[in-house]
Amino acid sequence: MPFKITGLKIIFFIIGCFTGIAAIAQTGLLKGFVQDVNGKAVSAATIAIPKLNIGTTTDSTGSYQLKGIAAGNWQLRVSAVGFDPYTAQIRITDQSSKTQHITLKNSGASMDEVVITGTLKAVRKSESPVPVTIISARLFQKNPTSNVLDALYMVNGINPQVNCNMCNTSDIGINGMPGPYSMVLIDGMPIVSSLSAVYGFSGIPNSVIDRVEVVKGPASSLYGSEAIGGVINIITKKATTAPKFFLDYNASTWGELTGNTGFSARLSDKVATLFNVDGYYFNTPHDQDHDGFMDKTLQQRLSFFNKWDIKQKFGKAASLSLRYYNEDRHGGETGWDQSDRGFVDFHEYDNDAGSPGYNADYVLPNGHTIYNEKYAKGFRIPRFDKQTDRQQWLDAVKLANPAAALADNMKYQESIYTSRFEAVGKYELPIKENITIQGSYNRHDQNSAYGTELFMAHQQTLFGQAFWDKKRGDHNFLLGGSYRYIWFKDNTIASDNGADPFVTQMPGFFIQDLWTLNPKTSLLLGYRFDYDFTRSASGDHENPVHSPRIALKYAPDEKNTLRASIGTGYRVVNIFSEDHRALSGQYEALFGETLKPEKSISGTLDYEGRVATEGIGLTYDVSAYYTHFFNKIYPVRNDVSRTLTYYNVDGKEHARNIGASLDIALNFRFPFRLTAGVSYNQAELFEFERDDNGNQLSNKIVRSPFEFSPKWSGVFSAAYDLIPQLTWDVTGEWRGPMLLPTQGTMETYDGNGHITGTITDPRPPYSPWFCKLHSQLTYKLTAGLQLYAGVKNIFNYIPKHLLVNTADPFNDRSGPDQYGGLQFDTEYNYTPQQGRTGYLGVRFNL
């Protein structure tokens, strides 16, 4: 039917037009700008009124306009990547134009927070030529952990690795590199190294951390040895800004109890102090896979932290931090009695008489005599500080009676007592020039029992540096000198059973120029010279070390930044930090040659961008890197002789690490936030074809991946505010396959040493793909009081078949002289064994 325009339709059309005009006339406008706590504009922030389903984003100057707001009272919500969500009540009247300026507080990874790790001086992240990843302590609260090591699982490109299934020793790798290639700083000081790199991480509580800064790639020009793979700088809270009182307690369904309490006080307008006590207690054995061994190491840990901040003339500051840490951890077979720690129990059989006793008298190394008693029930080997003394006892027992064997009721265990003290100080001279003096000292004492093997180690590290920060026109110079002293002694060949301590002295100086070429481009030029004096049982050496670095930043606008850098690295070797296997008695460490320090050259490329659309803010970071190693140290493992022989690769032999990563962060007009990251990494060793003893067989180059280095890995985190007081967080990490150490095919023998066959390690050489998912609800009762509850490892992913030869964990009747076959080892692991765990906690800040 044809459409006809009638008078009635015209009337309705006119009424509708006037109604629409009236509706438009009754809406208001909200405008303003968004900034951070430092007054810096926040671009790509999302401003929304959820009930009206309207929103907008800020421009590059932080300004915004939100139109079409109906008259009434509404809740305004503002969100931006790296900041806490902001909510406020607004009132809009007819045709009103309201101005609302907003200040956001920094959260997980602010786009423009002040950083120091990349250049050794405080600069805004956006102005630094070196890309720095910032992890706020608030991110750690999304999936609470008892220490910083476990928390770093949530950072893309960082791979905390469990190196032992018994004692749960761990380290932190960056971009697929093993833990010893990463330098860990506390407040800019190299506190964590060697011994503490293995067990000291677990003693750093999250409660004293303000943020963690990560620089991926070479940083030796500023920080010297060990900074080949990157730097992890743990920045502690300031006494002047910490809460007056704070606590955080939680308990888990596995029986874990974690708690910390602290307070800060202003003693005057210039002096403030912070004190914190942190504890962790776990004494409930779990054996989910029923292999007779605990899935998680039992631990009792206590840490005390005290920090002093002092204000001086000319706006200068001074600080002093003290920390004491004590831990008792042990793992291994269930049912182990700690009173048996470090002893070796024997029972003996007289092969001729068929009854207990010895064939003949025998004098042991300490002058005591083993008597040929008819019904001797056995005896106990005492503890020794030196492994050589202990081995003499064991050899003597075997000579006295070759049939002597470990007692049937002995349980395998690994027990570690750790005591550690740290002091970190910083003093800015109270003069107009910017001159800073920094220093640190730590003492680490360790008493370990790995089955029947004892490991006693002591380490002291002293570090000091002073630098002058001077700005001249477009140049910002940094000139300084440093001195590092490491003293290490243990009861292994690394220090000749304590007779020849490992000593390193490394004086050095460094210079850096941060040159602002124009408002869009800056260039960083750095050079460091160190002289390495090292004395050890593996050989003495003196080496001059040159570490240059160059970095370039180009930012055509505030939404796009390109960074590129190239630099060299240098690393002094410590066998304890290299390979836990060499200390646990599973393998004997040997030096195939005098080991030379490792060197490397690395390059990185990083692009950071921001995109703002209607109601959505996106930030992304794409990076690529390449590292080439010289004098790479590697162990040749012989599963028959149970030895690890260390060599340098040189000449045509080398190692390399190449990879890329992507990080994204999204915020929406509705209360949902998402961050995710993915990394690809290929770390490989190129060496001549060799036999099991490390001898070169041909000039053919064999290519093999690094162990414990996954090609693919990733993390993700999502948060949704169900109501303003209730937040739901989901976090997770996933890993692709990584090469793991297996024993291959081993020969078996009879009692006369004749080969009877072979047996193959049933464990796959590569780990499977896996993902762990965690969930948490946080309810804010008041401004400072929170209750939280969650579940870790929701899908109960547990690695399987980690151990072999569990019936003979002491390898007492194994080897070419007896029965051969697979040896018990504890290093095959790719993720913690803790299954699904629920937890409940309370957090309070005043």
Tell me the DSSP string of 164-184. Answer: -TTT--EEEEETT--GGGEEE
Q: Is 769 exposed, middle or buried (0-12, 13-18, 19+ CB in 10 A)?
A: exposed
Q: How confident is the model at residue 414 (pLDDT cuts 50, 70, 90)?
A: confident
pLDDT tens per residue, range 542-557: 888 888 889 999 999 8
Among residues 34, 24, 26, the alpha carbon closest in space to that of 96 is found at 26
Q: How confident is the model at residue 574 (pLDDT cuts 50, 70, 90)?
A: low
pLDDT in the model for residue 768: 96
Q: How confident is the model at residue 137 (pLDDT cuts 50, 70, 90)?
A: confident
Q: Report the alpha-carbon distance of residue 112 to residue 43 in Å, rounded.
A: 11
Q: Is residue 182 over pLDDT 90?
A: no
- State what percent of residues in the chain have pLDDT above 90: 30
- Angle subtended at Cα 504 by Cα 501 and Cα 507, rounded to the nearest 5 degrees: 155
Q: How confident is the model at residue 499 (pLDDT cuts 50, 70, 90)?
A: low
User: Per the structure block, which two tokens stand in for 65?
Assistant: 């306009």
pLDDT in the model for residue 493: 61
User: In this predicted model, which residue has the larger pLDDT, 398 or 179?
Assistant: 179
81 in helix, strand or coil? coil
CB count within 10 Å of CB 143 equals 22
pLDDT in the model for residue 17: 47
Q: Report the alpha-carbon distance of residue 331 to residue 295 in Å, rounded.
A: 8
Mean pLDDT over 266-285 rounds to 94
Q: Is residue 145 over pLDDT 80?
A: yes
Classify residue 83 by its DSSP letter.
B
User: In this predicted model, which residue has the larger pLDDT, 326 or 28?
Assistant: 326
Mean pLDDT over 332-355 rounds to 59
194 in helix, strand or coil? coil
Q: Report the alpha-carbon distance of residue 331 to residue 536 in Å, rounded.
A: 31
pLDDT in the model for residue 358: 35
In this structure, is the dihedral angle defined by the CA atoms of residues 139, 141, 144 and 146, taken in order, positive or negative?
positive
**Domains, the chain, with CATH or none:** 24-103 (2.60.40.10), 114-236 (2.170.130.10), 245-336+413-741+764-800+825-845 (2.40.170.20), 338-406 (no CATH)
pLDDT in the model for residue 389: 59
Q: How confident is the model at residue 363 (pLDDT cuts 50, 70, 90)?
A: very low
Q: Which residues of 452-464 are buried (b: 16+ CB within 10 A; e: fewer)?
A: bbbbbbbbbbebb
Q: Report the alpha-carbon distance of residue 651 to residue 336 in Å, rounded.
A: 50
Among residues 739, 825, 731, the alpha carbon closest in space to that of 777 is found at 731
Classify residue 41 by its DSSP letter.
B
User: In this predicted model, which residue has the larger pLDDT, 256 or 66?
Assistant: 256
pLDDT in the model for residue 555: 92
Q: Report the alpha-carbon distance of residue 180 to residue 197 in Å, rounded.
A: 7
Q: Which residues of 572-585 are buried (b: 16+ CB within 10 A; e: fewer)?
A: bbbbbbbbbbbbbb
388 in helix, strand or coil? helix
Contacts of 144 (CB under 8 A, 6+ apart): 206, 248, 250, 258, 776, 788, 790, 839, 841
Q: How confident is the model at residue 376 (pLDDT cuts 50, 70, 90)?
A: very low
Instruction: Give phi and psi for 493, each to the nearest 5.
Output: -65, -15
pLDDT in the model for residue 1: 46
Residue 566 and residue 601 in contact, taking contact as beta carbons nearer than 8 Å: yes
Which residue has tokens 């932290």?
305
CB count within 10 Å of CB 834 equals 21
pLDDT in the model for residue 588: 65
Mean pLDDT over 797-813 rounds to 81
Residue 171 and residue 163 in contact, taking contact as beta carbons nearer than 8 Å: yes
Q: How confident is the model at residue 183 (pLDDT cuts 50, 70, 90)?
A: confident
214 in helix, strand or coil? strand
Q: Is residue 426 over pLDDT 90?
A: yes
User: In this predicted model, which residue has the larger pLDDT, 650 or 147?
Assistant: 147
Q: What is the dihedral of CA 362, 364, 369, 371, to 10 degrees?
A: -50
150 in helix, strand or coil? helix
pLDDT in the model for residue 226: 65
Q: Is residue 505 over pLDDT 80?
A: yes
Q: Report the alpha-carbon distance of residue 567 to residue 547 in Å, rounded.
A: 7
User: Per the structure block, which two tokens stand in for 767?
Assistant: 């780990």
Residue type (1 letter), 363: V
Mean pLDDT over 284-302 rounds to 91
Q: Is residue 241 over pLDDT 90?
A: no
Residue 550 and residue 513 in contact, taking contact as beta carbons nearer than 8 Å: no
Distance of CA 258 to the CA centre of its chain: 19
pLDDT in the model for residue 641: 65
Among residues 634, 759, 841, the alpha carbon closest in space to that of 145 is found at 841
User: Which residue(s) pair with 729 in the sheet?
Assistant: 719, 776
**3-state SS, one letter per residue, for 297-352:** CEEEEEEEEEEEEEECHHHCEEEEEEEEEEEEEEEEECCCCHHHCCCEEEECCCCC
pLDDT in the model for residue 377: 40
pLDDT in the model for residue 771: 96
Residue 769 and residue 797 in contact, taking contact as beta carbons nearer than 8 Å: no
pLDDT in the model for residue 755: 78
pLDDT tens per residue, range 627-667: 888 887 777 777 666 677 777 777 677 888 999 999 999 88
pLDDT in the model for residue 716: 94
pLDDT in the model for residue 843: 95
Among residues 144, 194, 87, the alpha carbon closest in space to that of 839 is found at 144
pLDDT in the model for residue 490: 79
pLDDT in the model for residue 262: 93
354-368, 466-480, 581-595, range with greatest mean pLDDT: 466-480
pLDDT in the model for residue 196: 61
Q: How confident is the model at residue 274 (pLDDT cuts 50, 70, 90)?
A: very high
pLDDT in the model for residue 27: 76
pLDDT in the model for residue 130: 81
- Angle subtended at Cα 661 by Cα 524 and Cα 171, rounded to the nearest 5 degrees: 90
Q: Is residue 300 over pLDDT 50?
A: yes
Q: How confident is the model at residue 19 (pLDDT cuts 50, 70, 90)?
A: very low
State pTM to two decimals: 0.80
pLDDT tens per residue, range 202-229: 667 788 888 888 888 766 556 665 667 7
User: Per the structure block, which two tokens stand in for 624?
Assistant: 């690529």
Q: Is residue 286 over pLDDT 70?
A: yes
Mean pLDDT over 510-534 rounds to 91
**N- to C-terminal Cα separation, the chain:** 75
Q: Is residue 681 over pLDDT 90?
A: yes
Give the helix/strand (H/E) hosting 15: helix 7-25
Question: pLDDT averaged over the chain?
Answer: 79
Contacts of 795 (CB under 8 A, 6+ apart): 771, 772, 773, 836
pLDDT in the model for residue 272: 95
pLDDT tens per residue, range 308-322: 999 999 889 999 999
Q: Is residue 477 over pLDDT 90?
A: yes
Give the helix/strand (H/E) hosting 393: helix 387-400
Cα–Cα distances in angstroms (integers) from residue 544 to residues 212, 461, 528, 602, 648, in the given order: 32, 21, 11, 19, 18
